[in-house]
Chains A and B, each alone.
Chain A
Amino acid sequence: MADKNEILAGLAEIVNEETGLEVEEVQSDKSFTEDLDIDSISMMTIVVNAEEKFDVKIPDEEVKNLTTVGDAVDFIANAQG
């Protein structure tokens, strides 16, 4: 089980692979769409890769609620149980 810092770092790597954004840009308070300019298709790729990396399930209906990077980190942390 990863702690929130590890999750953030892991997520930043995934975002970097999908979009080319620098890992330092992927901060907790950043909005995926507004600040990081990640569209819904790239978001799905990020979500699927995060599911694999952290061994969690992130259902389609939950993805819409993940507005910021922090939202995603919190969700993954809770989903780990």
Chain B
Amino acid sequence: MTVTLNQPAPVAGTRVMGLGAYRPELVIDNEQICQWIDSSDEWIQQRTGIKTRHRAPKDVSVVDMAEGAAREALEHAGILGAQLGGVIVATVTHPFATPSAAADLAHRLGATPAAAFDISAACAGYCYGIGQADAMVRSGLSEYVLVVGVEKLSDFIDNHERTISFLLGDGAGAAIIGPSEVPGISPSILGSNGEKWEAVAMDSSLLNFRDALAQARETQDATELLNAENRYWPTLRQDGPTVFRWAVWEMAKVAQQALDAAGITADDLVAFVPHQANIRIIDEMVKQLKLPEHVMVGRDIVDAGNTSAASIPLAMHRLLKENPELSGGLALQIGFGAGLVYGTQVIRLP
């Protein structure tokens, strides 16, 4: 007789039950940025739309920010940390390859023994996390899953470089995913194009850093050592035009795929919340998707900068706070970034 395995009982649908946000206290305006690079407030706003970005102080970690956002999301969702079956943290700036930010966060929230893992998918991380959480809940594996997009990009920025540093900020956004009688999350479109691996990336590995310091130490020259530290500490850089072209024209096609998979059209949306990479990317995507006038667009980048995995939940949290009438309506969210990777889905706003 063949032995059969059990499988969890699937549920009819999933939904976003609550959102939370954490914005760190240090506000860096363009005047400050122009002390680091030769530029102007006018140029930065014209190129990127950014007026300010927030950055966390030294004593505030990725997990601290994640916790702040997560607690608000739990409260909004009306559940306790102890009820979580999964904790997913999307980040590329937790400074340990292991142990994960998620394991620490789960412990802090009283969620032990929930499944806990980090996702490294850059600016697509939050949408990857939502896709993963949707699958975990819908399959019956977990009842409630927390997804956090969080970054402390300021730890990995060279403020004097001109391709990306002035765009970047820190922060965290969180969502609680739970079961629903009707679908509240559409099929996720998750993908990659590793051919463009170098288009946006940290420019050095920890091994490069270690080896460069070792070599510099042999010279017994303090300046050599300082130069090696500055040159080889990993910092983010991008080929802006390549990323722009891919983000606008390729990602607009992917966003359309998400609408098609959801079985809706742009007319059915109340909101569009793309990754807050650059206001010109956002504006061009709106044009490419031919979004009707009534669709509100997240443009949190103006004040928050580009916060990678945190940008979509932060923008969505703000949009809902400023426009509570959007609650219950459909929002298209799309993340895209280093990898290159992308993730998108339509959700019903909590």
A binds B: yes
Provide the A61-72 mask, 1 if CB < 8 A to any CB of B, else 0. 001000000000
Q: How large is the interface on A (under 10, 10 to 19, 20 to 34, 35 or more residues)?
A: 10 to 19
Chain B CB within 8 A of A40 CB: yes
Main secondary structure of the interface of B (DSSP, over half): helix
> Which one of A3-11, A22-30, A43-51 is at the interface?
A43-51
Determine if A41 is an interface residue (Cβ-Cβ < 8 Å).
Answer: yes
Across the interface, A63 reaches (CB within 8 A) one of B241, B248, B249, B278, namely B241
Task: Report which of A39, A45, A48, A60 forms a contact with B242, defined as CB distance below 8 A.
Answer: A60
- Min Cβ gap A42→B in Å is 9
- Per DSSP, are chain A's interface residues mostly helix, strand or loop, or mixed? helix
| Interchain nearest-CB distance for A60 vs B (Å) | 5
Contact of B240 (CB < 8 Å), options: A40, A45, A47, A48: A40
**Nearest CB in chain A: distance from B193 CB, A:** 13
Q: How large is the interface on B (under 10, 10 to 19, 20 to 34, 35 or more residues)?
A: 10 to 19
* Structural contact, A60 and B249, CB atoms closer than 8 A: no
How many residue-residue contacts, CB under 8 A, span A and B? 26
Residues of B within 8 A of A39 (CB): 47
Q: Are B240 and A60 in touch, CB under 8 angstroms?
A: no
Looking at A43, A48, A63, which has the most chain B CB atoms within 10 Å of its CB? A48
Inter-chain CA distance A45–B239, complex, in Å, is 15
Least Cβ distance of A11 to chain B in Å? 17
Cα-based distance from A45 to B241 in the complex (angstroms): 10
The interface residues of chain A lying within 8 Å CB-to-CB of B241 are 40-41, 43-44, 60, 63
Chain A nearest CB from B164 CB (Å) reads 13
B interface residue numbers (CB < 8 A to A):
47, 239-242, 244-245, 248-249, 278, 280, 284
List the interface of chain A (C-beta within 8 A of B): 39-41, 43-45, 47-48, 60, 63
Q: What are 26 residue pairs bridging A and B, where the CB atoms are less than 8 Å apart in the complex?
A: A39-B47, A40-B240, A40-B241, A40-B244, A41-B47, A41-B240, A41-B241, A41-B244, A41-B278, A41-B280, A43-B241, A44-B241, A44-B244, A44-B245, A44-B248, A45-B248, A45-B284, A47-B245, A48-B245, A48-B248, A48-B249, A60-B239, A60-B241, A60-B242, A60-B245, A63-B241
